[in-house]
Copies of this chain bind each other. A is one copy, B any other.
Amino acid sequence: MSANAEQHGVDSGSLPHTVAAALPQIEAYMATVVRLAGAPPALEQAMAYATLGGGKRLRPLLAWHACMASGGAGPESLPAGAAIELVHCFSLVHDDLPALDNDDLRRGRPTLHRQAGEAMAILAGDALLNHAFGLLADRLPPTLALATIRELADACSRMIAGQVLDTLGFEGDPDASEWDDAARLERIHRGKTGAMLVASVRMGAMSSGSAEPASLKALTGFAEAAGLMFQIVDDLLDVTQTSEHTGKRTGKDAEAGKLTYPGVFGVEASRRMVEEMRDTALRAVEPFGEEAEGLRQICRFLAVRTR
């Protein structure tokens, strides 16, 4: 346990029990959504490999606890949480491809293209993205289905834009010539990871059926700060941890010459930014009562996680 983790009374290796209690239901639900009637078994297997491989389920958990913070019970968020997780898994599969980040290891196992070939990784990623929308349309009441589809399409579009900037840079963008590295970094990460984390919280809150505009706004503020914090921690882990510990290749950002928080601001300043972002996120949900405790605990955990 790190000093930072001890300070918050959280085991940095795992989520608090009260927060993680939803995981079995999330996992069971995920297993039901990757069955595709009539699909070739090899495609279904590839989709399952990419989605049932022991991810943290951070996004469905955020959706679950944002649903609770908005007066829901939690399980109403399962379709939204699963759809976001499908999109998250699709993005990992495509980002790992040789033409992008060229990663061989993900969650301690071979990446999908190492396991099933590049063609299958491209196609299974496509199928996961597509399936996320079908899932929302099929499993939610009409108004909620449409509202969450809009959120998801918008967040996914921002995520892809962030990935384009992260992988290919800002070339050809006349506006970007005025931005320094810090501005570029924020732009990349608000898209690449931030947008989908914000969507997790918003779609989960919407799933409660009782989220007021003001509380949705407060939750969005929470998610924006927590999302940026999540990425800074990710960049720090890439510098400070071993592959064996995180289950994915580390040290790769520097190797690829990518903009990172420790690279731009230094390790110490990045650590301070993590604490600032954590506090900003927690302040955003101060008006909420006990029912937002899950979100607060996730936020504190994300500040001290070590993988």
Chain A residues with CB under 8 Å of chain B are 36, 38-43, 45, 90, 94, 97, 99-100, 117-120, 122-123, 125-127, 129-131, 133-134, 137-138, 142-143, 145-146, 149-150, 152-154, 156-158, 160-161, 163-165, 167-168, 170-174
Contacts and interface: CB of A to CB of B under 8 A. Distances in A.
Contact of A134 (B43, B142, B150, B173): B150
Contacts of A94: 122-123, 126
A172 B41 CA distance: 7
A127 B157 contact: yes
A100 B121 CA distance: 11
Identical chains bound together, number: 2
A120 to B, nearest CB: 6
- Majority DSSP secondary structure for residues of A touching B: helix
Given A38-B158, A145-B146, A153 B173 contact: no
9 contacts: A39-B164, A40-B164, A41-B174, A42-B171, A43-B164, A99-B122, A119-B168, A127-B157, A131-B157
Nearest to A152: B133
Contact of A142 (B43, B118, B146): B146
A146 B137 contact: yes
B130 A149 contact: no
A161 B43 contact: yes
Contact of A40 (B40, B133, B138, B173): B173
Contacts of A156: 130
A94 B93 CA distance: 14
A219 to B, nearest CB: 21
Contacts of A173: 40-42
Contacts of A167: 119, 123
Given A42-B168, A100-B122, A142-B143, 4 more contacts: A38-B158, A38-B161, A41-B172, A133-B152
